[in-house]
Amino acid sequence: EIVLTQSPGTLSLSPGERATLSCRASQSVSSSYLAWYQQKPGQAPRLLIYGASSRATGIPDRFSGSGSGTDFTLTISRLEPEDFAVYYCQQYGSSPVTFGGGTKVEIK
Amino acid sequence: QVQLVQSGAEVKKPGASVKVSCKASGYTFTSYGISWVRQAPGQGLEWMGWISAYNGNTNYAQKLQGRVTMTTDTSTSTAYMELRSLRSDDTAVYYCARGGTVFNWFDPWGQGTLVTVSS
């Protein structure tokens, strides 16, 4: 199975700053079948990005995804107060579907 | 709007079974699949498996093979996940999520169902 490693584990930033989250796969993710989700406490995950770089419906353009092969990045250009949450990457190119361990973006 | 609404919290004893439901609305149920994902307290996300609402085909995570069964009822647009021989480490929030094929992103997700396994 493909193991996804997210870094850093925790990112401490202030509102207005740029956040860069990394997701590295143990083997190449076919067809860039990689998604990013945001999860806030007590809530279900919400899809942000699919296909490595396509924003889901209703997601603000301050969220962007990039990468291919084994290295992927989620960038939040300017953090808003509602963006402080945990972010997960997911590969869905091969079975089993796997998730990274998550990156927590916290207020500095 | 597309929505998945799950059944309520459950408390089960070790060795028992649990069946969680996920009722879909706002889209053609048989045009998509449903995946199930669980999250232990304070932990990350674990994919459990997928079922096609079109023909009932399934794809289960290997570690749960033999203990999990996913089904659908197209007459009520509802998906079900049954987990048997429950252990304490099955305590988690269980989510359903809409996908296309098994190789798909998940959107949207149900609100989650807390299953607590305790003697």
Contact B105 A99 (CB under 8 A): no
Question: What pLDDT score was predicted for residue A18?
Answer: 98
Report chain A (108 residues): mean pLDDT per 10 consecutive residues: 97 97 96 95 97 97 96 97 98 95 97
Residue of B nearest to A30 (CA): B103
Contact A50 B110 (CB under 8 A): no
Minimum distance, in Å, between the CA of residue B80 and any CA atom of chain A = 18
Question: What pLDDT score was predicted for residue A12?
Answer: 97
Query: Which of A92, A94, A96 faces B104 most closely, judged by CB atoms?
Result: A92
Tokens of residue A91, six digits: 């590969």
A81: CB partners within 8 A, 6+ apart: A15
- Summarised one tens digit per residue, pLDDT across range B37-86 is 999 999 999 999 999 999 999 999 999 999 999 999 999 999 999 999 99
Q: How far apart are CA B114 and CA A94, in angstroms?
A: 28
In a 3-state reduction of DSSP, which class is residue B3?
strand
Question: What pLDDT score was predicted for residue A35?
Answer: 98
pLDDT interval class at B100 (50, 70, 90): confident
Residue type, B29: F
In a 3-state reduction of DSSP, which class is residue B88?
helix
- Summarised one tens digit per residue, pLDDT across range B4-34 is 999 999 999 999 999 999 999 999 999 999 9
Q: How far apart are CA B64 and CA A78, in angstroms?
A: 41
Contact A86, A106 (CB under 8 A): no
Per-residue pLDDT at B111 exceeds 90: yes
C-alpha closest to that of B83 among B38, B30, B43:
B38
Mean local confidence (pLDDT), B86-111:
95
